[in-house]
């Protein structure tokens, strides 16, 4: 296919061409935002490795009832309004901190607050507890 054929295709299929341009721009914006968000997204296997090698602090932001139904083993529950000055975070500014929620939607905002508060090694479990379960990893029940 040469450039003239490409131009002709774009002219004949304006909506399809606009959709392609729009998706391309959205993808670029998403990737640029990911570079500047200040925290690292982790997959379940990466979380396991970080806990095992660097004793990462895993904080579950779920409501207490949800946490007790099932949480990542070793995680601590931090329900309600997130506060970077919480006692569970005392002295952890240099330690890896991983924030977890049920679906991966709540933790990023809390991660941004931690970065603003001076925490240097902030991570979020992408997909949350749902991703952990999808990876066939165990959940603990009850209080931590």
Question: Does 127 map to a domain?
Answer: yes
Q: What is the pLDDT of residue 34?
A: 67
Same domain, 51 and 31: no
Q: Dihedral of CA 106/108/111/116: which sign?
A: negative
69 and 8, same domain (yes or no): no
Q: Where are the beta strands (DSSP E) in the chain?
A: 40-42, 57-60, 76-77, 97-100, 122-125
Q: Which residue range forms the structural domain that includes residue 18?
A: 3-35
Query: Does 104 lie in the same domain as 83?
Result: yes
Helix axes 3-12, 14-35, angle to 10 degrees: 100
Contact 140, 113 (CB under 8 A): no
* Residue 45 confidence (pLDDT) above 80: yes
Residue 7 lies in a domain: yes
Domain count within the chain: 2
Residue 142 lies inside a defined structural domain of this protein: no
- On average, the pLDDT of the chain sits at 91
> Which of 45 and 6 is assigned the larger pLDDT?
45
Residues 25 and 44 in one domain: no
Question: CB-hemisphere CA count at 13 Å for 141?
Answer: 1
* pTM (2 d.p.): 0.76
């Amino acid at each position: 296919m040469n450039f003239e054929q490409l131009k002709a295709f774009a002219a004949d299929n304006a909506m399809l061409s606009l959709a392609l341009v729009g998706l391309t721009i959205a993808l670029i914006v998403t990737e640029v935002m990911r570079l500047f968000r200040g925290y690292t997204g982790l997959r379940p296997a990466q979380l396991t490795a970080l806990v095992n090698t660097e004793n990462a602090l895993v904080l579950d932001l779920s409501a207490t009832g949800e946490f007790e139904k099932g949480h990542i083993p070793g995680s601590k529950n931090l329900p309600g309004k997130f506060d970077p000055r919480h006692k569970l975070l005392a002295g952890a500014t240099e330690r890896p901190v991983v924030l977890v929620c049920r679906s991966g939607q709540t933790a990023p905002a809390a991660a941004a607050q931690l970065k603003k508060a001076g925490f240097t090694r902030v991570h979020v479990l992408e997909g949350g507890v749902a991703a952990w379960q999808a990876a066939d990893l165990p959940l603990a029940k009850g209080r931590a």
